[in-house]
């Protein structure tokens, strides 16, 4: 039961951040939301927070170019 709870919260936070990323218009705003989501997800899974922030920011900034948001 503990493992389910540990993965449920980050997944929910990540889904909420993705939903919010559709509300912003600029690459900078999407990068900020992506950085926050990446950092929170990395922290929740005991990963490298810095790497999560960098990957999240890159993903947020480039998601419209890839047609994902």
Count structural domains, the chain.
Answer: 1
Structural domain for 22, as ranges: 2-62
- Domain-located, residue 52: yes
- Domain-located, residue 54: yes
**What is the reported pLDDT for 41?**
85
- Domain-located, residue 27: yes
- Domain-located, residue 50: yes
One-character DSSP codes across 1-50: -HHHHHHHHHHHHHHHHHHHHTT--SHHHHHHHHHHHHHHHHHHTT--HH
**What is the reported pLDDT for 26?**
86
- Domain-located, residue 69: no
**What is the reported pLDDT for 12?**
72
Residue ranges for the chain with pLDDT beneath 70? 1-10, 13-14, 17-24
Q: Is the pTM of the predicted complex or chain greater than 0.75?
A: no
């Amino acid at each position: 039961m503990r493992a389910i709870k540990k993965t449920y919260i980050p997944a929910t936070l990540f889904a909420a951040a993705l939903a919010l990323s559709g509300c912003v218009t600029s690459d900078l705003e999407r990068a900020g939301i992506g950085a926050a989501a990446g950092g929170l997800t990395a922290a929740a899974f005991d990963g490298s927070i810095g790497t999560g922030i960098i990957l999240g920011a890159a993903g947020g900034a480039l998601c419209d170019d890839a047609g994902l948001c």
